[in-house]
Amino acid sequence: MIFTIFKKELKDTLRDRRTIIAMIVVPVLVFPILLGLTTTVTKYFAEKQQEEVLKIAVISTATDNQFTQRLSAIPEEFGPKTLIFREDTLGLKEEISIDSIQIAFIIPANFDQQQDSNQQSTIQVFHKGVNIGNKDRVRTYLAEIESSFLAERFERLNLDKQLIEPIDEQYNDISSEKEMIGKLAGGFLPYLFIIFGFIGCMYPAIDLFTGEKERKTLETLLTTPVPRWKILIGKMLVIVLSGIAAASFALIGMFVGLRAFDLVDSPELLTVIDGILTPMFILSLLILLIPLTIFFAGIMIPATIYAKSFKEAQSVLTPVNFIIMMPALVGLLPGIELDYITAFIPIVNIVLATKELVAGTIDPILMIISFMTMVGFAALSVVFSYKRFGKESNIIS
Amino acid sequence: MIQVENIRKEFELTKKQQKENNTSDKVALAVEDVSFECQPGRIFSLLGPNGAGKTTTLRMLAGILKPSQGSIKINGIDIQKNPNEAKKDIGFLTGSTGLYERLTANEIIEYFSKLYGVSKEDFKQRKENLYTLLGMHDFQDKRIGRLSTGMKQKVSIARTMIHDPDVVIFDEPTSGLDVITAENIIKLISDCKTQGKTVIFSSHIMSEVDLLCDDLAIIHKGKIILRNTMQEFRNNMQTTSLTAEFIRVINENN
C-alpha cells in the first residue's frame, strides 16, 4: 500500500512544474550558469586589460636615457604600449584624467649618472587608480627594468646574488591535492547539499500536505481504509527522494560546469577531482544524505500539515531554512573538524563528515557516529510528523 | 447499516480561538449525544442549518474524526476499534471534494480502487459499468485540471463507488453545483437505494429531501431535535411547505 501511495504521489509531483524546477532545473543549471557567468566576465575583462594599448608618457629632459631604452625594449607579451616623449609635465594630469594618456614616468635628468654610480633614482609614476590593472602593468615593467639594472650592478661590482638573499626558502607540502581540495573547498559541497536538499524537499512537502488540504483531497484520502502512517510514509518517501535528487543534480551540475568552462586548467587537479568521484565516495555521500533528507522531511511535514495555504507553508518554512543554513555554514569555517563532540551535533556532523570524505581522511567510527546520530534525529522527526499528521485540528480545514 | 449511539464531539480550542469566540472554555462542543440508525435500502437525511454539526457527524461516520464519546457501527463493525475494516464498506462524497488536478480520471479511479483493495477483475468491470452509466469514456484520459465542473463531479462519483460500498455518505453533495450536474448526484443517491445500499446524506435543500428521503433527523446546535420517517414528518406538518416546517422546528428549539 505504501508503494501505491508513493507511486501516485511521485507521478503527481513529477507533473508539478514548480517541483521540477526546484528539483531538477535549478540544481542542474545554477552552477554551470554561475560558473559560466563568472568565468566569461572575468576572462573578458582580463583579455580586455591585456590587449589594451597603454599610452605611456616618459617625461625627461634627456630623452635617450637608459630607463627609456629599457622600457622600449620590454617585449609585447608584457602588454602592448606606445611611448610618448615629453620634456615637461604641462597638462599631464589633465590628460591622464581624461584617459588620453594612461601612465606617466618622470625620469630625473641625471638618471644615467645615478645608475652608473650605483645610486638610487627616484621615478615618479602618475596613474589613475580607478583603472585597475594599469598599476599592475606598470609594476611588471618596473620590475623588469629594475632586475636588468640589478644584474648589471652585480656584474659590475663582481658580487654574488646570495649576498642580498641570505635565505632560500623551500616549501615541501606533504598533504595530497585531494586533502587540500577536501579541506579548502570540501566545505562547499555539504553546504550545497543542504541548500538543494532542503529546497528539493520543500516544494513536494508543501504540495503533498498543504496542497492536499488546499485542494480538499486530504479528507477523501483519509476515508480510505489505509492506516495514516502508511499515507505518511508513502508521501515522505517522495519528499526524501526529491531532496536527494535535487542535491545529486546540483553535484552533477557542478562537475559538468567545471568541465564545460575549463575552470580547472591543471590536468593533475582534474585527475584529483575525478579521483574523488569514486563509486565508493558517491555511495558514502548518499548514505549520509538519506538520514539528512529524512530529517528535513520530518521537520517540514508538521509545518506543512499545520499550514492552510501554500503561501502560509512557504512563510513558515523560510525561517526554518535559515536555521538549517547556520550549521551548514560551519562546514565553510576553517579549523572545525569532525571529532567525538561534533559527530553528535545534527547537520554539523554531516557537513564535517562530507568534508572529510572529500579529503579522504574520514575516521570510519566518526562516520558511523555521525550517521547514527542523524538517523536518530530523523527517526524523532518522523515520529513528530506522525503525531502532527494524526492531529484532527491539522487535517480538517 | 449505520448505528450511531450517543456520540459526542468536542474540539480543543487554541488560545487564539478562545479569544475569537470570546470564551474561556478550553473545548467547543460540536455534537452532543447524537443517536440514530440508517437501514439498508433506505435513504436517511440529516438536516440542519449551517454550523449545526452535520459535517462533523458525517466526518465521524466516515472515520475522518474520532468521537469524544459514544459508538459508531458500520455494518456491525465498530469504526473506532476497527477503522480500516469499517472504512472498506464506506463511500464518502461531499460537494466540496477535490480531485488530484494533475492526474487523469483513469489514474484517480485506479488509485482509489487500489487503496480500497479492489481486485483487478472487479476494478475492470466496475470501471466499465460506471463509465458507461456516467458517460465518462470521452474524458477518461484527460487530466482533471482540464475538465468541467460536471465532468469532475462524475469522476468524484466513480471514485466514491469504485469499491462498491454498502454504506454511502453524502455531505451536502449538490452544494455549489448547477442543476444538471446536481441531477447526476440525485440519480446516484436514488440508484444506491435501489441497489439496497445504506445511504445517509446531509442537505438543506428541501426539494432534494422531499424527492429522496425515507427517514430524517434534524440536528441543531449539535443535538438531534427531531427524528422520524419522512412519511410521519409530512403527516405531522403544521405548516404548508417542507421548508416552512423545517424553519418552524428549528425556531421552536432555539
Query: pLDDT of B119-148, one tens digit each?
Result: 999 999 999 988 988 888 999 999 999 998
Of the ranges A180-184, A353-357, B184-188, B213-217, the best mean pLDDT one: B213-217
Determine the structural domain holding residue A107 and report its residue range.
51-164
Rounded to 5 degrees, φ, ψ at A244 are: -65, -40
Instruction: Based on the fold, state whether residues A29 and A58 are members of the same structural domain.
Output: no
CATH code assigned at A133? 3.40.1710.10
Look at residues A130, A164, A198 and tell me which one is the last residue of a structural domain: A164
Per the domain annotation, does A169 fall within a domain? no
Tell me the average pLDDT across A46-63: 82
Residue A263 pLDDT: 61
Query: Cβ of A345 under 8 Å from any chain B Cβ?
Result: no
Q: Does A17 touch chain B (CB under 8 A)?
A: no
**Domain identity same for A237 and A375:** yes
- Whether residues A208 and A304 share a domain: the answer is yes
Confidence category of residue A10, pLDDT binned at 50, 70, 90: very high
Residue A21 located in a structural domain: yes
CA distance A231 to chain B (A): 10
- Among B14, B85, B100, the residue with its CB nearest the CB of A12 is B100
Answer yes or no: is A43 within a domain.
no
pLDDT in tens, B79-97: 999 999 999 999 998 877 7
How much is the pLDDT for A98? Answer: 87
Q: Is residue A100 part of a domain?
A: yes
The pLDDT tens digits for A218-275 are 888 999 999 999 999 999 999 999 999 998 888 888 777 777 766 656 666 677 777 7
Residues of chain A neighbouring B171 (CB-CB closer than 8 A): none
- Co-location of A129 and A153 in the same domain: yes
Give the CA diameter of chain A.
103
Helices (H), chain B: 15-20, 54-61, 83-87, 105-115, 120-134, 149-161, 179-194, 206-212, 230-235, 242-252
Beta bridge partners of B5: B71
What domains lie within chain B, and their CATH numbers? 2-89+165-252 (3.40.50.300)
Q: Is residue A199 part of a domain?
A: yes
* pLDDT at residue A63, rounded to an integer: 73
For residue B117, give the C-alpha cell: 483493495
For residues A65 and A26, membership in a common domain is answered with no
Residue A44 maps to a domain: no
- The C-alpha angle with vertex B59 and arms to A231 and A314, in degrees rounded to 5, equals 50
Residue A184's pLDDT is: 63
Total domain count, chain A: 2
Residues A361 and A212 in one domain: yes
What does the pLDDT read at residue A183?
A: 66
End of a domain among A164, A186, A204? A164
Name which of B66, B84, B111 is nearest A8 (Cβ-Cβ). Answer: B111
A259 domain-assigned: yes
Q: State the DSSP H helix or E strand holding residue B165, giving kind and residue range, or none if neither.
A: none
A61 in Cβ contact with A88 (< 8 Å): no
Residues of B with CB below 8 A from A215's CB?
98-101
Q: A349 and A211 share a domain? A: yes
| pLDDT digit string, tens, across residues A336-392 | 888 898 889 888 888 888 888 887 778 889 989 999 999 999 999 999 988 888 788
Residues A100 and A235 in one domain: no
| Angle, CA of A247, A252 and A258, to the nearest 5° | 125
Q: Residue A215 is nearest to which of B59, B98, B159, comparing CB atoms?
A: B98
Contacts of residue B83 in chain A, CB cutoff 8 Å? 225
CB contact under 8 A, A222 and B84: no
User: What part of A 205-224 touches B (C-beta under 8 Å)?
Assistant: 215-217, 219-224
**Do A153 and A238 lie in a common domain?**
no
The answer to whether residue A42 is domain-embedded is no
**Cβ atoms A12, A239 nearer than 8 A:** no
Q: Are residues A316 and A383 in the same domain?
A: yes
B90–A4 CB contact, under 8 Å: no
**Same-domain pairing of A99 and A208:** no
Sign of CA dihedral A87, A89, A92, A94: negative
Chain B residues with CB within 8 Å of chain A CB? 11-12, 14, 59, 62-66, 83-88, 90, 92, 94, 96-103, 107, 111-112, 114-117, 159
Q: Which residue has the higher pLDDT, B105 or B22?
A: B105
Domain's final residue, options A111, A131, A164: A164
Number of H helices, E strands in chain B: 10, 10
Contact B64 A223 (CB under 8 A): yes
Same structural domain, A184 and A313: yes
Instruction: At A321, list the grid cell.
Output: 531554512
